[in-house]
Amino acid sequence: MRLSRNELLFVALGAVLGAVVAYAVKAGLVAPNGALPPFAIVLIGLGFVELLVGYAAGRSPGTLVGMPARFLAFVVGVCIVLLGDKFA
């Protein structure tokens, strides 16, 4: 399956969001074992961005990105959060 340009941008956004959350965890702004774990912040952030872009484009948010791209963006973001402890 080939990903469209919008889907590739969404996956890249997941990576950037994962790096931001990893930095926040490393800086102590987000508790790694808190009530809202870092992977949930990545998931909520991806959903929020998709809603904003859908609203700005005037399209339904569910039609902008396919489910495989959503899953891939979440996995990439969470992997970067998990690897943030080792490399940051």
Q: What pLDDT, on a 0 to 100 scale, did the predictor assign at position 84?
A: 87
- Does the pTM surpass 0.85? The reply is yes
**How many whole angstroms separate alpha carbon 24 and alpha carbon 30?**
6
pLDDT tens per residue across span 26-67:
999 999 888 999 999 999 999 999 999 889 888 887 888 999
The token pair that represents 34 in the structure block? 């808190």
Domains of the chain, by residue range, sit at 5-28+37-87
Mean pLDDT, the chain, rounded, equals: 90
- pLDDT of 88 > 70? The answer is no
Contacts of residue 71, Cβ cutoff 8 Å, sequence gap at least 6: none
> Of 69, 9, 71, which is closest to residue 43 (Cα–Cα)?
71
